[in-house]
Structure 1
Amino acid sequence: MTTTLAVANQKGGVGKTTTVASLGIALVERGLRVLLVDLDPQGGLTFSLGIDPEDVELTAGDVMLGRHRVTEALVVTDEGVHLLPSSIALTRAEEQLVGRTGRERRLSVALDAVAADYDWILVDCPPTLGVLTVGALAAADEVIVPLQCETLSHRGVGQLLDTIHDVQQLLNPRLRVLGVLPTAYDGRTRHARAVLETIGETYGLDVLEPAIPKSVRFAEAPAIGRSVLGTSPRHKGAEAYRAVAARLVDRTPAPAVV
């Protein structure tokens, strides 16, 4: 069975792209077939995996508009994941999608056509709660909310959960919130620990473990066009993402042997 996981938070800079790239590579390391979907018009995931968004001919937007199939737009990265890329052209596609019938389900329909080819599909959502994020939630089985352990980082969590609830009620009743993934975490500070406790108490969300430690390695990796698992494989941040990936896999059925 294929599991589609959306990584969403309308606040920028909380580690969505790093989480998608790192979890994707960690799953590939475990021998799984992985498709990453870049739904951010800024193309951060695409760039982070060594592909210049300005050189991308087809994007997720072309697929959602029905102009091309997923297989026509796919790129295979150096680290072994398949990528449905993004570029600034996705902004124009998003504007066109607003007036299209079934706009919220277009990504789901497109991914259904290739789901049998993958064990995991991970979607990097843009830092908004617009049509692209709603489309990702409508296509997903599960959603993770990456969250920096700072007070201002969790102010929009309630709004995101309201959007998820609406998607569950109207578009995708199978969608499940796995929980919050702490990023840029410094367990030595009382403030960081207090933020996590506040999230759990206020919103009733599980806190995924281990927390992803704060490190400059995550900022350095995209410049090389690889994930932190590729640039610093033994770093504590890489090991943390491997541990999170292991937890995701251990609670799901093993992929069928063909």
Structure 2
Amino acid sequence: MTYKAPTLVPLALAGGQGKTTVALMTGRILASYGIPVLFVDADPQASLTDFLGVDPEDRPTLLEVLTRSPEKLPLFKAIHEVPDNENLFLIPSTDELENANHSLAASPASISVLRNRIQQAGETVKDKDKITANFGVIIIDPPPERSHLTLTSLGSGDRWVICAEANIKGVKSLKRTKGLIETCQSMVPLGEFIGTIPFRAKWTGLNPTRVTRTNIEVMEALVGKELMLPHILESDIYKRAIDELTLPGELGYEALEFPLRSLIERLRPLLGQYAKSVPVLKTEEEE
């Protein structure tokens, strides 16, 4: 049977929750294992496009993918190579992607539009030649708001992870985002919520601050202990890694990647032949 790449969608219905950081760094870690990764920047802010160093120039972006037919724009024409990384690719966006909300609003099944394009549903393409057969993982970065672009991104996901700051704003965003998933679940029956990653957790010495600890406890009460992933520490190392187009581990801080490697571990059952490329996850103490 032809392999079909799983689609991971980090979600957050507020800005600053770590959604793009999780998308970017998870993809970079997977690529470091030799797994080909396709990013889809579904946010008109185009931060992921900028972080990956891709200039769309005059080539097609996600806007054209969503508003033009497969006959007029084959999907592969919108896929850009990411500079200096042979395993990373991107369907980019610009601020003009905002216009896609209007065309999606006019579609009675907007939640499935992006999924159908990525899966090349209804196209006369052999399974082995489809985009999903030629990448190991697809990662979509939606806008941090309730919009048609967010809904169609959610609808394209096989697995969803919620990113939430370890503070009151993050808890509110987590509630709203979890509610959106629950509302849409019946329309995306194969999608699965696989965890919450607390972001910008603050520590004093060897212990989390009271605010961080309290808010993570509230998050755990909201989603359940089994759906809580390790938290991402507030650290300038992530900003530096983004600026230098690399990973925290390449800067000597591999332990900071543990929450993302834990997320990847939850994707392992979907990775088919690529699963053997993913190292066995060490415990947090071993990291």
Structure 2 length as normaliser, TM-score?
0.80
Aligned to 2:194: 178
Q: CA deviation at 1:172?
A: 0.6
Q: Deviations over 1:149-201 (max 9, x none)?
A: 112211132222221112111x2111111111122122431221111111111
Local SS of the residue matching 2:272:
coil
Q: Deviations over 1:77-118 (max 9, x none)?
A: 123311110101101122222113432211001111321111
**How far does residue 218 in structure 1 lie from its aligned partner after superposition?**
2.1
Compared CA separation, residues 149 and 92, structure 1 to 2 (3 A): same
Length, aligned pairs only: 252
Structure 1 residues 72 and 30: alpha-carbon distance in aligned structure 2, compared to 1, 3 A threshold:
same
How has the CA–CA distance of structure 1 residues 198 and 56 changed in structure 2, closer, same or farther, with 3 Å as cutoff? Answer: farther
8 Å CA contact retained: 1:5, 1:143? yes
Q: Out of 218, 229, 246, which is 1:198 matched to?
A: 218
Q: Is 1:244 aligned to residue 262 of structure 2? A: yes
Unmatched runs of 5 consecutive residues or more in structure 1: none
In the alignment, which residue of structure 1 is the partner of 2:180? 163
State the Cα distance separating 1:241 from its structure 2 match: 5.2
Structure 1 counterpart of 2:75, which letter? V
Which stretch of the first structure deviates more once superposed, 237-246 or 98-107? 237-246
Partner in structure 1 of residue 209 of structure 2: 189
Given that 1:213 and 1:237 are in contact with CA atoms closer than 8 Å, whether structure 2 keeps it comes out as no
Does the 8 A contact of 1:147 with 1:181 survive in 2?
yes
Contact 2:194–2:266, Cα closer than 8 Å, also in 1: no
Name the structure 2 match of 1:109.
116
Tell me which structure has the larger Cα radius of gyration: 2
CA distance in 2 between counterparts of 1:245 and 1:33 reads 17
Within the candidate set 46, 49, 57, 2:52 is matched to 49
CA RMSD after TM alignment: 2.3
Letter in 2 for 1:70: L
Distance 1:160 1:66 in 2: 29
Given the superposition, is the C-alpha separation of residues 227 and 58 from structure 1 closer, same or farther in structure 2, using an over 3 Å criterion? farther
State the alpha-carbon separation in 1 of the partners of residues 191 and 165 from structure 2: 23
Q: Distance in 2 between matches of 1:202 and 1:100?
A: 33
Would you say the 8 A contact 1:215–1:237 is kept in 2?
no
| 1:67-106 matches, cutoff 5 A | 67=69, 68-77=73-82, 78-79=84-85, 80-106=87-113
Give structure 2 stretches of 5+ with no counterpart.
Answer: 121-130, 276-287
The verdict on how the C-alpha distance between 1:157 and 1:245 changes in structure 2, with shifts beyond 3 A counting, is closer
Q: Is contact 1:146-1:181 (8 Å) kept?
A: yes
